[in-house]
Chain A
Amino acid sequence: MTTTRKLASAIAVAALAACLVCGCGTRHSARPQVTLTLACWEGPEGLVSLTKLLDRYKKQHPNVAIEIQQVPGSQYYQRLKIQFAAGVAPDIMQLAYDQLPTFAERNTIEPLDRLIDRDRFPVDRMFPELMPALKYKDSFYGLPRGWTTFVLYYNKDMFRKAGVPFPREGWTWDDFLAACKKLTKDIDGDGRIDQFGCDAPTQVDGIAYWIWQNGGRVFTPDMKHCLLDRPEAIGAVQFLAGCQYKYHVFPAPEQAQDLGGGGEMFRNGRQAMFIQGRWACLTFRGATYPGGRPIDWDVGPVPMNKQKATVLFANCYVLRKNGPNLEEAWKLMQWLTGVEGQKHQARTGRDMPSFVRIANSPDFLDPVNPPEHDRVYLDAARYARPLEVDSNTGATAEIITNEITLIFATHKDVRKSMRSIVTQIDKIQEGER
């Protein structure tokens, strides 16, 4: 008993002493002239890559220290909003392009037109398809670290074994379904399916392009109404729901190894196809079957129906509006999104470079690492679109995601789901919130 009290007192004294020494506030590292804070959602591997890049910048700019705030993706935007409200927002932040309107609308991020023109940042050398994703109300708000189109990853071993031709330009939903059926198997004969064709979408960016391919849209062009209850949208989602519930070529929740959406099953050789952006290369390079044999995989175009369509994703950096270190942060941003940063990103396999020239160079068209057909990403750019977004995207995307989960996890009727989405979203879009 006395020991505990002594222990407790010792801890308390030490704690108070530490408190006095460090101050009851946040901490500082050594003090160069400028400290920039950079927020990102990178995981452990991404952080290593980012740190390498930033180290090179720091060598050229020894007066700049960069503090990285690494926040897991699921809490990332929450954190940013709280930080903005509390006045402690970072100087430069990673932002997915679909969040640009939300943050721009609330006057939290710096419009970039003036800076781009003044310092002549070469936006004209970027892919034109990318431009709309970086702008809000015709002003630039973000510059991309990189971008990507969504393509279809496929396991060549499984395709060969099943005798299915590899995905090729112009292949259709019917081809896709037929392939899935042949690729979904019970391998060891224990009555449980071990290998699946593909998996169900879990978020709006997993479902949008199917709807576009069917001739539909998610929103009207002026974003005032949601169009998910139109036949084209319903048809697309019903096709996917059919893959899961009728043909059983997508894993049901209890069959999935994870809680869905992460590509784990493809990475472990349990799934034949997976649709995702370029960053999946990072996780799939070096992927092996249980037991250690490397997976032979490549990429191909997503299937088409009434038209070709796929979704693009732009990974942007943005600046805190009127931040205290705006000029230094802008310098860093130019470097990260300029030629240096683009080449670095391209080589790591995380992103497609936004500059056309670099995208067509060996930095991206990597002859050594898989996938073999890096061109597929570039070819898909011709029919890639950004998601339809506005400043309510956070809330509307969540509504859509919830209903998608209900459809694919609880077999909720597609029509009912879509109607529910439209009712909820239209309320928000009409400004009743």
Chain B
Amino acid sequence: MKPRGNPLIGHQAAAAAGFLAPSFVGLLVFAVAPIFGALIVSLLDWDILTPPEFVGLTNYLTLWQELAKGETLRQVLANTIYFTAGTVPLAMAASLAVALLLNRKIWGVAAFRVIYFLPSVTSIVALSIIWRLMYNPDFGIVNRVLGVVIAHPPGWLADPHWSMPAIIIMSVWTGLGYNAILYLAGLQGISASYYEAAKIDGAGPWMLFRHVTWPLLSPTTLFIFTMSVIGGFQVFTQIYMMTAGKPTPQTSVYVYHVYSQAFTSFRLGYASALAFVLFLIILSVTLIQLSVTKRWTYYGN
């Protein structure tokens, strides 16, 4: 029954303005305006202490040259892709496995959930410090344990070949609980009727997983995938805390590079240009995800 002559209709626009004002102003000033600000800054050469100088597209040209000539930026981008490609599949597989285990509703599952979630609520600064100690080639617990079975355990953070894998492992460990909870929600959203129908058809556990669980999880999977990839490209804190980009440039990643160009070397214009390129990369990834979603997601039809 639709109300007629709703006394509030005329006031809705005014009320809306009132309700929207705080967030609108906040977002306009601190989210939208800076985007244009960043664009402008990327056209400048500025070190914050002396007046800026307009240089047009020079920063972007420099960026392109660095990529093309294989200088620092190419290594940085490669490292970022390496990190993302290493973390995402590992993180997703591990957290899915854990979620499947948690889904079994065994006694004490709640306690396990809490334990797995601990790293996610702990500041990654503290976690980075702990893992730095654990990775110490000489007396860290990782090598003490490994040293029992392997003669020469790797140097981890000090060794250029092992520093990125070290950070990848740490990052997967940190995000495990978080992603597992997401998967768990997805798993619990699958109606039991699907499983029953499949079992009637005689499906065993593996078939159940492949034909019921996996397809019905695809929205969650795709969500976690996209978030993880975007997060991978934006990784910063662990790098800053554990290696500060050394052994240079083996672990310097994109955002670390932006940070150091902006706030250590004070090349604000160039750093802004770098940030914009990152934006484009992330945008592309998200658009690809959107189009893939339409093709691959199974919403239970």
Binds B, one of A74-82, A116-124, A137-145: A74-82
Which residue from chain A places its CB closest to the CB of B156 in the assembled complex? A254
Bound Cα distance from A259 to B160, whole angstroms: 12
Cβ–Cβ contact B160 & A402, under 8 A: no
Kindly state whether residue A395 has any CB partner on chain B within 8 Å. yes
Cβ–Cβ contact B265 & A395, under 8 A: yes
Cβ–Cβ contact B155 & A254, under 8 A: yes
Interface residues of A in 382-408 (CB under 8 A from B): 394-395, 398, 402, 405-406
Kindly state whether residue B291 has any CB partner on chain A within 8 Å. no
Cβ–Cβ contact A259 & B48, under 8 A: no
Bound Cα distance from A85 to B47, whole angstroms: 9
Known interface pairs A81-B48, A253-B158, A254-B159. Does A405 touch B265 (Cβ–Cβ under 8 Å)?
no
Q: B137's contact among A85, A106, A255, A405, by CB below 8 Å, is which? A: A255
Nearest Cβ distance between residue A85 and chain B, in whole angstroms? 4
Of B156, B159, B248, most A-chain CB atoms within 10 Å? B248
Known interface pairs A82-B263, A85-B49, A394-B265. Does A410 touch B160 (Cβ–Cβ under 8 Å)?
yes
Bound Cα distance from A313 to B182, whole angstroms: 55
In the complex, per-residue mask of A252-286: 1 if CB is within 8 Å of any chain B CB, else 0: 11111101100000000000000000000000000
Chain A facing B: main interface SS: helix
A15 CB contacts on chain B under 8 angstroms: none
Bound Cα distance from A183 to B263, whole angstroms: 43
Cβ–Cβ contact B265 & A398, under 8 A: yes
Kindly state whether residue A409 has any CB partner on chain B within 8 Å. yes
Nearest Cβ distance between residue A228 and chain B, in whole angstroms? 17
B137 CB contacts on chain A under 8 angstroms: 254-257
Q: A409's contact among B45, B50, B247, by CB below 8 Å, is which? A: B247
Which residue from chain A places its CB closest to the CB of B245 in the assembled complex? A402
A-B contact pairs, 7 of them (CB 8 A): A191-B151, A253-B155, A255-B137, A257-B138, A257-B139, A394-B265, A395-B265
Bound Cα distance from A74 to B264, whole angstroms: 10
Known interface pairs A78-B263, A85-B49, A108-B49. Does A254 touch B158 (Cβ–Cβ under 8 Å)?
yes
Kindly state whether residue A41 has any CB partner on chain B within 8 Å. no
Cβ–Cβ contact B244 & A74, under 8 A: yes
Interface residues of A in 102-119 (CB under 8 A from B): 106, 108
Count how many chain A residues have C-beta atoms less than 8 Å from C-beta atoms of the other chain: 26
Kindly state whether residue B74 has any CB partner on chain A within 8 Å. no
Known interface pairs A253-B159, A256-B158. Does A78 touch B49 (Cβ–Cβ under 8 Å)?
no
A335 CB contacts on chain B under 8 angstroms: none
Cβ–Cβ contact B159 & A84, under 8 A: no
Which residue from chain B places its CB closest to the CB of A424 in the assembled complex? B71
Q: Which residues of A contact B (CB under 8 A)?
A: 74, 78, 81-82, 84-85, 106, 108, 191, 252-257, 259-260, 394-395, 398, 402, 405-406, 409-410, 433
Bound Cα distance from A226 to B263, whole angstroms: 25
Kindly state whether residue B154 has any CB partner on chain A within 8 Å. yes
Cβ–Cβ contact A405 & B248, under 8 A: yes
Cβ–Cβ contact A259 & B246, under 8 A: yes
Cβ–Cβ contact A82 & B48, under 8 A: yes
Kindly state whether residue B249 has any CB partner on chain A within 8 Å. yes
Interface residues of B in 148-168 (CB under 8 A from A): 151, 154-160
Bound Cα distance from A268 to B100, whole angstroms: 49
Kindly state whether residue B250 has any CB partner on chain A within 8 Å. yes
Cβ–Cβ contact A406 & B244, under 8 A: no
Which residue from chain A places its CB closest to the CB of B154 in the assembled complex? A254
In the complex, per-residue mask of B248-289: 1 if CB is within 8 Å of any chain A CB, else 0: 111000000000000111110000000000000000000000
Known interface pairs A106-B49, A394-B265. Does A402 touch B157 (Cβ–Cβ under 8 Å)?
no
Which residue from chain A places its CB closest to the CB of B136 in the assembled complex? A257
A253 CB contacts on chain B under 8 angstroms: 155, 158-160, 247
Which residue from chain B places its CB closest to the CB of A252 in the assembled complex? B155
Cβ–Cβ contact B247 & A410, under 8 A: yes
Bound Cα distance from A84 to B263, whole angstroms: 13
A255 CB contacts on chain B under 8 angstroms: 137, 155
Of A191, A253, A402, most B-chain CB atoms within 10 Å? A253
Bound Cα distance from A174 to B159, whole angstroms: 29
Known interface pairs A78-B263, A254-B137. Does A259 touch B249 (Cβ–Cβ under 8 Å)?
no
Cβ–Cβ contact A259 & B157, under 8 A: yes
Nearest Cβ distance between residue A108 and chain B, in whole angstroms? 7
B265 CB contacts on chain A under 8 angstroms: 394-395, 398
B158 CB contacts on chain A under 8 angstroms: 253-254, 256, 259-260, 409
Bound Cα distance from A402 to B250, whole angstroms: 11
Cβ–Cβ contact A405 & B247, under 8 A: yes
Q: Which 7 A-B pairs have the closest CB atoms?
A: A254-B155, A253-B158, A409-B247, A85-B48, A402-B248, A254-B159, A106-B49
Nearest Cβ distance between residue A159 and chain B, in whole angstroms? 24
B159 CB contacts on chain A under 8 angstroms: 253-254
Cβ–Cβ contact A106 & B50, under 8 A: yes
Bound Cα distance from A158 to B263, whole angstroms: 44
A259 CB contacts on chain B under 8 angstroms: 157-158, 246
Nearest Cβ distance between residue A41 and chain B, in whole angstroms? 15
Cβ–Cβ contact B48 & A406, under 8 A: no
Bound Cα distance from A405 to B266, whole angstroms: 22
Nearest Cβ distance between residue A49 and chain B, in whole angstroms? 27
Bound Cα distance from A227 to B247, whole angstroms: 25
Q: B49's contact among A74, A81, A398, A402, by CB below 8 Å, is which? A: A81
Nearest Cβ distance between residue A81 and chain B, in whole angstroms? 6
Bound Cα distance from A78 to B259, whole angstroms: 11
Which residue from chain A places its CB closest to the CB of B249 in the assembled complex? A402
Which residue from chain A places its CB closest to the CB of B49 in the assembled complex? A106
B49 CB contacts on chain A under 8 angstroms: 81, 84-85, 106, 108
Nearest Cβ distance between residue A106 and chain B, in whole angstroms? 5
Bound Cα distance from A294 to B32, whole angstroms: 62
Cβ–Cβ contact B157 & A406, under 8 A: no
Of B139, B158, B249, most A-chain CB atoms within 10 Å? B158
B154 CB contacts on chain A under 8 angstroms: 254
Cβ–Cβ contact B264 & A78, under 8 A: yes
In the complex, per-residue mask of B49-83: 1 if CB is within 8 Å of any chain A CB, else 0: 11000000000000000000000000000000000
In the complex, per-residue mask of B124-138: 1 if CB is within 8 Å of any chain A CB, else 0: 000000000000111
Nearest Cβ distance between residue A203 and chain B, in whole angstroms? 12
Nearest Cβ distance between residue B273 and chain A, in whole angstroms? 14
